[in-house]
Amino acid sequence: MIRKQWISLLLAFLLLCPLFSAGAENADAGQWFCLVCGAENTGDSCRSCGTLRDVWICSGCGTRNLSAACHTCGLEQQESLRKQAFSGDPLKAYPVLRSMAAEGVNEALCALAEYYAKGILVPQDAETAAALYNRACDAGYGPAFLQLGKMYDSGELVPQDLFRAMECFQRAAELGVAEAYWYIGSYYEEGFVVNRDYRTAREMYTKGGENGDPDCWMSLAYCYASGKGMERSFGEALPLYEKAAEGGSSLACDYLGYLYMTGDMVPADPEKGLALYRKAAELGNARSMMALGYAYLTGQGVEPDRAAAVSWYEQAAVAGRTDAVAIIRRLKAGD
């Protein structure tokens, strides 16, 4: 009897709540996701791997558990699942992310959406990615608005829709996502879907920078340096470039590195230039890796060191610079 009542209550809830009727990864009645393999199930054990419902593998010691804490090392289940879900290892994370997404955990919805957007472990599927982001958006999760906005902005997976993108960025900014201000600023700077307005663009970049997005300082610096809606002023731009570099903008580190290496606009300071290139490289900037390779090859600011040069060019190649491959070949052939 109780069960029947429960089911009719649930049905009423589902009818009232269109949110649960669309897309994958929904917590439908009795549906669950295996924490070991990620398969979707309705029975008592996983149809794919046979694991009993709710069994989880401790991310600390590998023990299989059914209780709220690992019976070998004591790690709490919730902490273990979180570690696993955001470990950066898709194979480990995927089963747990599916389960957490079904429970409506916003970070998990966004992480799983990225798998569908990029086709990691699942076939690339823009519709499911958007549906997952939308569920997190409906829960008022700012980063989901940012990611959805980027999807509409780039138009790689869904037809480009800059109006919708702008709406998403504005919601994300209202919800405190600093990076969203960069997009809003750039829309005002370029005149996308709004009238070009450099003053508002600068305001947006300033807000984003103050809220912790270093690329906003970079773009603001560029506004000053190129005289967007004002007189050009490298003197105003330089401290902003420095601020962007300190905050971790790889573009700013790379650009300032170039200025200090070459003495363009600033007094040449190869030591500082190389340090900035190294920071940019650590942040994944492939152009700085190329520049470091060149510096070690030619002895620009450092003792020439062929092995170090090859190593930097190799890192650049791994980061996607195909032009580094030919240089490595030449260097290894002894040219």
- Residue ranges in contact with Zn ion by CB under 5 A: 34, 36-37, 39, 46, 48-49, 51, 58, 60-61, 63, 70, 72-73, 75
Query: Minimum distance between the CB of residue 101 and Zn ion, rounded to whole angstroms?
Result: 16
Q: What is the C-alpha to C-alpha distance for residues 99 and 210, in angstroms, rounded to an integer?
A: 36
Q: Which of 58, 237 has the CB closer to Zn ion?
A: 58
Query: Minimum distance between the CB of residue 114 and Zn ion, rounded to whole angstroms?
Result: 22
Q: Which of 99, 315 has the CB closer to Zn ion?
A: 99
Q: Which of 46, 131 has the CB closer to Zn ion?
A: 46
Q: Which two tokens stand for residue 135?
A: 């569920």
Residues 6+ apart with CB under 8 A from 184: 166, 169, 170, 173, 204, 208
Q: Which of 70, 117 has the CB closer to Zn ion?
A: 70
Terminal-to-terminal C-alpha distance of the chain: 84
Beta strand extents in 267-318 (DSSP E only): none
Dihedral pair phi/psi, residue 29, rounded to 5°: -55, 120
Query: Minimum distance between the CB of residue 8 and Zn ion, rounded to whole angstroms?
Result: 31
Do residues 253 and 277 touch, judged by C-beta distance below 8 A? Answer: yes
Query: Minimum distance between the CB of residue 27 and Zn ion, rounded to whole angstroms?
Result: 17
Please classify residue 30 by burial: count the beta carbons closer than 10 Å to its beta carbon, then call 0-12 exposed, 13-18 middle and 19+ buried. exposed
Do residues 93 and 81 touch, judged by C-beta distance below 8 A? Answer: no
Q: Which of 51, 285 has the CB closer to Zn ion?
A: 51
Dihedral pair phi/psi, residue 11, rounded to 5°: -60, -45
Query: Minimum distance between the CB of residue 37 and Zn ion, rounded to whole angstroms?
Result: 3
Query: Minimum distance between the CB of residue 269 and Zn ion, rounded to whole angstroms?
Result: 51
Residues 6+ apart with CB under 8 A from 197: 188, 191
Q: Which of 14, 55 has the CB closer to Zn ion?
A: 55
